[in-house]
Chain A
Amino acid sequence: QKEVEQDPGPLSVPEGAIVSLNCTYSNSAFQYFMWYRQYSRKGPELLMYTYSSGNKEDGRFTAQVDKSSKYISLFIRDSQPSDSATYLCAIGDYGGSQGNLIFGKGTKLSVKP
């Protein structure tokens, strides 16, 4: 079983839709959960960062973590064409043996006008 699993999509939605992106992970030692957005031919940029179970909101974006189920989600409300990108979940165990992030393979999102 891979450490982080993410549905690669692609996902196509109309403008204004609510988008749900998800990842599952296998190691309960993971404590830090992030979502990155990557536009074509660009480097990933950090969108959301959380270390606790529950919801964290930032504008149109909500990150949700369920540690008991080892499941994380990113919700995008009122999606815009500018949200079209690949979204990567990233998970880490800061302070553990690996001081680095493990990334999902990314979900490609397309928001149609």
Chain B
Amino acid sequence: DSGVTQTPKHLITATGQRVTLRCSPRSGDLSVYWYQQSLDQGLQFLIQYYNGEERAKGNILERFSAQQFPDLHSELNLSSLELGDSALYFCASTYASYGYTFGSGTRLTVV
């Protein structure tokens, strides 16, 4: 157990739907990162939050949004889902360095 908890582990949903992925960072970590991993693109950075505020944005679609709550857990919202959104979504956390600790991921399948 890495200390980073992601739920749910698996999610199957239909095109056009909206889902929410949840991440609880490791105790004491202030930064949360979201990554998308697909077979052809590898790990792609989506967005970073630090202590509740958005810090950096990567290749995140407008249909996707995220937030970090006062208790530091984070949620990634994916809407108007398309088949191409099927991927593994990872959350990682860190305190102040590049030693990212990853969760086990949420496998999203859009049918």
Contact = CB atoms under 8 A, between A and B. Distances in A.
Main secondary structure of the interface of B (DSSP, over half): strand
Contacts, number: 56
- B interface residue count range (under 10 / 10 to 19 / 20 to 34 / 35 or more): 20 to 34
B34 to A, nearest CB: 10
A113 interface: no
B100 A103 contact: no
Interface in A85-107: 88, 90, 92, 94, 98-106
Interface in B1-57: 2, 4, 31, 33, 35, 41-43, 45, 48, 50, 55-56
A48 to B, nearest CB: 11
Contacts of B58: 98, 100
Interface string B74-93: 00000000000000001010
A74 to B, nearest CB: 16
A32 interface: yes
B56 A99 contact: yes
A57 interface: no
B64 to A, nearest CB: 16
Given A42-B104, A43-B2, A101 B98 contact: yes
A31 to B, nearest CB: 10
Given A43-B105, A103-B43, A105-B42, A98 B100 contact: no
Given A43-B92, A98-B56, A101-B45, 13 more contacts: A32-B98, A41-B107, A43-B4, A43-B104, A43-B105, A44-B43, A45-B102, A46-B100, A94-B98, A99-B50, A100-B33, A100-B48, A101-B100
The 9 closest A-B pairs by CB, nearest first: A43-B102, A105-B42, A103-B43, A100-B45, A44-B102, A32-B98, A43-B104, A99-B56, A92-B98
